[in-house]
């Protein structure tokens, strides 16, 4: 059996049996990993505190032919605001669910790991709705699934001013090509500027995150629709947000 140590963020947890848990980690070294943590839900288990959602940890894992097992884990950083505040929990869960659903096991993705690490303190201290949408926007870009926001996907012309956008066609559509596009929706200049701001956001910048409520609602609806269209199914975190938050 191989034993190895990883630096990771707890991406997802699923309980099984009386006291066990399947833990999905996003690791610095190997990308997404899934491992069993036996007995970790018992109060006296040394793993109980470390293997909570959103924790930044180091973990010692035993690799076997059937299933990996977490032997030990230590907390590097934890963010209790993300589990104690319903809105922060909901929007952090949105970002983490998108990353979990759109990544594959054992594929090292340093940019995605760094994004999760940088987003956690912002999600826990600043506007979680804005932070989650920025995280989703940047993740879609680095994953190669992002739409073309700057040029018409039909003729290649640079978008200037108000236009349209099509999820099915892959991005922005100038007004000259709108009749040839599928399932278009409005793409005002203000929305394009919002996307530009989110893509260029520096997670270490303490400048106040400020978008008006209409911008936020439009941006949230857009990214939720797009991610769900890519996945071909709904997001559980979105159901939670719509039921309890907005």
- Taking the domains of the chain in order of start, what are their residue ranges? 2-77, 81-146+184-244
Residue 65 has pLDDT above 80, yes or no: yes
**Is it the case that residue 156 has pLDDT exceeding 80?**
yes
Percent of the chain clearing pLDDT 70 (strictly above): 100
pLDDT, residue 208, reads 79
- Topology alike, domains 2-77 and 81-146+184-244: no
Domain 81-146+184-244: CATH class, spelled out: mainly alpha
Is residue 103 predicted with pLDDT exceeding 90? yes
121 to 9, 126, 132, 208: CA distances (angstroms): 13, 8, 12, 14
pLDDT, residue 68, reads 96
* Separation of alpha carbons 99 and 110, rounded Å: 13
Average pLDDT, the chain: 96
Model pTM greater than 0.85? yes
Q: Does the structure show a pLDDT above 80 at 101?
A: yes
Contact 134, 200 (CB under 8 A): no
| Three-state secondary-structure class, residue 124 | helix
pLDDT in tens, 36-62: 999 999 989 999 999 999 999 999 999
Tell me the two tokens of residue 23: 């833990």
Element spanning 191, H or E: helix 189-199
Query: Are the CB atoms for 107 and 32 separated by under 8 Å?
Result: yes
Sign of the dihedral defined by the CA atoms of residues 8, 25, 229, 218, in that order: negative
pLDDT in tens, 75-86: 999 999 999 999
Q: Which helix (H) or strand (E) holds 8?
A: strand 2-16
pLDDT band at 223 (very low <50, low <70, confident <90, very high): very high
Point out the least confidently predicted range of 31-35, 71-75, 82-86, 212-216: 212-216
**Protein fold of 2-77:** OB fold (Dihydrolipoamide Acetyltransferase, E2P) (2.40.50)
Tokens representing 182? Answer: 């599928």
Instruction: Tell me the per-residue pLDDT of 171-201, one tens digit each, with 9 for 90 and over.
Output: 999 999 999 999 999 999 999 999 999 999 9
Q: Are 231 and 100 in contact (CB under 8 A)?
A: no
Which residues are registered as beta bridge partners of 65? Answer: none
Q: How confident is the model at residue 115 (pLDDT cuts 50, 70, 90)?
A: very high
Closest CA to 68 of 37, 104, 30: 37
Q: Taking a C-beta distance cutoff of 8 angstroms, is the pair 198, 133 a contact?
A: yes
Cα-based distances in Å from 56 to 30, 186, 236: 15, 40, 23
Residue count of the chain: 246
Please tell me which residue, 65 or 189, carries the higher pLDDT value.
Answer: 189
Cα–Cα distance measured from residue 15 to residue 22, given in angstroms and rounded to the nearest whole number: 6
The span from the CA of 109 to the CA of 218, in Å, is 30
pLDDT band at 209 (very low <50, low <70, confident <90, very high): confident
- Compute the distance between CA of residue 124 and CA of residue 139 in angstroms, rounded to an integer: 19
pLDDT at 64: 87
């Amino acid at each position: 059996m191989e034993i190895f140590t990883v630096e990771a963020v707890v991406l997802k947890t699923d309980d099984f049996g009386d006291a066990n848990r399947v833990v999905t980690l996003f690791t610095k070294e190997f990308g997404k990993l899934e491992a069993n943590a036996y007995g970790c839900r018992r109060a006296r288990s040394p793993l109980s505190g470390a293997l909570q959602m959103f924790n930044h940890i180091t973990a010692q894992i035993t690799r076997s032919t059937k299933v990996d097992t977490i032997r030990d884990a230590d907390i590097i950083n934890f963010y209790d605001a993300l589990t104690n505040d319903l809105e922060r929990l909901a929007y952090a869960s949105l970002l983490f669910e998108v990353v979990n659903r759109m990544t594959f096991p054992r594929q090292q993705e340093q940019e995605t790991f760094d994004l999760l690490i940088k987003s956690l303190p912002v999600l826990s201290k600043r506007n979680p709705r804005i932070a989650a949408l920025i995280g989703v926007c940047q993740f879609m870009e680095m994953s190669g699934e992002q739409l073309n926001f700057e040029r018409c996907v039909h003729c290649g012309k640079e978008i200037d001013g108000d236009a349209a956008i099509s999820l099915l066609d892959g991005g922005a559509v100038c007004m000259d090509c709108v009749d040839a596009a599928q399932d278009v929706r409005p793409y005002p200049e203000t929305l394009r500027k919002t996307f530009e701001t989110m893509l260029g956001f520096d997670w270490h910048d303490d400048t106040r995150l400020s978008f008006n409520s209409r911008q936020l609602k439009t941006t949230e609806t857009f990214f939720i629709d797009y991610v769900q269209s890519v996945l071909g199914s709904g997001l559980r975190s979105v159901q939670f947000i719509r039921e309890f938050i907005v």
